[in-house]
């Protein structure tokens, strides 16, 4: 019999089922756990005031972005190599997402073909794009995603050179990529970072180029600074994702919850704002929306569900978070996402 709430239970089940190195890969962060804790604590520090006796008018959690309407604002963030966690892989996740009337971002490092994922989902998914070292290679991956029928591009910029941090087992790879990106040979005295990795990292000029290639909505993922958010808007991006990559890239960053209000204020409604990193409950979803986000993304929680029960586990995680969001709305006296924005949070 299940003794824990669903998400902790699925995390426990995932840890029990997965090989130790794969579990460590999923849960690792740049600060040996400290950044994960900081992300979670950022949402937990915000408090809600109950509002009983409020008459709710046609309550719902409907979310509309870029002319797409979903039953709720809980999106699935891009997670690489999902066949590591369950044979259902990204296809299972996509089917579950569609069954729960939501939206999913397919990773550049997906372990199944993006065309197959979109086809099995029976809906137009979003595609998360990693820079491929130069414009020509990036354009090849971009065109593959567009040909598959994705409806938005989410360009992740906070991990400029992304490589597998685990030795992948046979049969699992980033099947949508061309040959692995080779690092150029370094000369004596050169830096692996400055003269190696960063020579293949994107810049704002590349964002401007990408904007010209993409006729569907373009979002920039991994922004934490107000000036960067303003620059994305100036270049015509339709959205940004406030994120510290779930703590996996740079240690000692503020939590997403800490920087979200300033970015919302700076953007001033000129683009859509999503947020991830540390969302672990429907109350966290509510708090992010109250602070001005248009939608949220979850990562590790749905992978726990995938590892525990395959596609069904993913569906249960989404449904649980939506149920928790609805309960929070009912107890704080709000009927829809627009009313959540009027709620005052307390530190």
Q: How far are the Cα atoms of 1, 11, 319 from residue 5, in angstroms, in the given order?
A: 11, 10, 13
Q: What b/e readout covers 206-227, taking b as 16+ CB neighbours within 10 angstroms? A: bbeebbeebeebbbbbbbbeee
**How many CB atoms neighbour CB 238 within 10 A?**
20
Residue 54 forms part of a structural domain: no
The alpha carbon torsion through 25, 31, 36, 37 (nearest 10 deg) reads 140
**Residue 18, domain member (yes or no):** yes
The predicted pLDDT at position 183 comes to: 64
**Is there a domain that residue 340 lies in?**
no
pLDDT at 192: 62
β-strand pairing of 74-76 with 105-106: unpaired
- Domain CATH for 304: 3.20.20.70
**Neighbour-count burial for 133-152, b at 16+ CB within 10 Å, e otherwise:** bebebbeebbebbbebebbb
Write the CA distances from 152 to 76, 216, 245, integer angstroms.
Answer: 14, 6, 19
| Ranges of the chain with pLDDT below 70 | 1-4, 30-33, 160-165, 179-187, 189-200, 246-247, 249
The burial class, CB within 10 Å (0-12 / 13-18 / 19+), for 7 is buried
Question: What would the two tokens of residue 132 be?
Answer: 């491929």
Q: Which of 301, 235, 237, 304 is nearest to 39 (CA)?
A: 301
Report the C-alpha gap between 104 and 143 in whole angstroms.
19
pLDDT digits (tens, 9 = 90+) for 37-95: 888 888 889 999 999 888 888 999 999 999 999 999 999 999 999 999 999 999 999 99
In a domain, 343, yes or no: no
Separation of alpha carbons 217 and 203, rounded Å: 19
**d(Cα 340, Cα 272) in Å, to the nearest integer?**
16
pLDDT at 1: 43
Number of domains comprising the chain:
1
The residues carrying an active-site annotation are: 245
Residue ranges of E strands in the chain? 63-65, 68-70, 74-76, 105-106, 126-129, 152-156, 218-223, 239-242, 272-275, 295-298
Residue 188 lies in a domain: no
Domain assignment of residue 190, yes or no: no
Give me the pLDDT at residue 68, please: 96
Q: Which strand (E) or helix (H) includes residue 95?
A: helix 89-99
Pairing of strands 239-242, 218-223: parallel
Q: Dihedral through CA 232, CA 93, CA 299, CA 307, nearest 10? A: -160
Find tokens 């510290």 and name the residue: 244
Is residue 127 within 8 Å of 153, Cβ to Cβ? yes
pLDDT in tens, 138-171: 999 999 999 999 999 999 998 765 554 678 898 9
Residue entry with tokens 């963030």: 77
Instruction: Please indicate, yes or no, if residue 323 is contained in any of the structural domains.
Output: yes
Q: Is residue 99 part of a domain?
A: yes
Domain that holds residue 39: 6-48+63-177+197-333
pTM above 0.85, yes or no: yes
Say how far residue 163 (Cα) sits from the centre of its chain: 18
Q: Is 101 helix (H, G, I), strand (E, B) or coil?
A: coil
State residue 249's pLDDT score.
Answer: 67
Residue 110 corresponds to which tokens in the numbers above?
């997906």
Residue 91 neighbours by CB distance under 10 Å: 22
Q: Check residue 208 and give its pLDDT.
A: 97
């Amino acid at each position: 019999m299940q003794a824990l709430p669903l998400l902790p239970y699925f995390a426990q089940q995932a840890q029990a089922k997965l090989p130790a190195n794969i579990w460590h890969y999923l849960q690792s962060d740049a600060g040996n756990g400290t950044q994960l804790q900081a992300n979670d604590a950022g949402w937990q520090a915000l408090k809600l005031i109950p509002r009983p006796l409020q008459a709710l008018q046609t309550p719902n959690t409907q979310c509309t972005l870029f002319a797409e309407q979903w039953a709720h604002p809980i999106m699935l963030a891009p997670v690489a190599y999902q066949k590591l966690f369950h044979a259902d892989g990204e296809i299972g996740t996509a089917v579950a997402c569609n069954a729960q009337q939501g939206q999913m971002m397919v990773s550049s490092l997906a372990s199944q073909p993006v065309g197959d994922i979109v086809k099995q989902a029976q809906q137009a998914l979003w595609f998360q794009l990693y820079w491929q070292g130069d414009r020509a290679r990036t354009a090849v991956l971009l065109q593959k995603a567009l040909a598959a029928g994705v409806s938005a591009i989410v360009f992740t910029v906070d991990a400029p050179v992304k490589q597998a941090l685990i030795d992948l087992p046979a049969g699992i790879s980033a099947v949508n990529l061309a040959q692995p990106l080779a690092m150029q040979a370094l000369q004596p005295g050169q830096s692996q970072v400055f003269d190696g990795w960063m020579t293949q990292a994107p810049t704002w000029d590349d964002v401007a180029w990408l904007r010209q290639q993409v006729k569907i909505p373009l979002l920039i993922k991994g922004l934490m600074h107000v000036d960067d958010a303003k620059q994305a808007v100036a270049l015509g991006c339709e959205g940004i994702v406030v994120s510290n990559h779930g703590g996996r890239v740079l240690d000692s960053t503020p939590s997403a919850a800490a920087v979200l209000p300033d970015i919302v204020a700076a953007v001033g409604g000129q683009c859509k704002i999503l947020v991830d990193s540390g969302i672990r409950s429907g109350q966290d979803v509510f708090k992010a929306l109250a602070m001005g986000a248009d939608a949220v993304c979850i990562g590790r929680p749905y992978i726990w569900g995938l590892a525990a029960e395959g596609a069904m586990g993913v569906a249960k995680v989404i449904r649980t978070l939506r149920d928790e969001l609805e309960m929070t709305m009912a107890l704080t006296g709000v009927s829809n996402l627009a009313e959540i924005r009027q709620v005052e949070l307390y530190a």
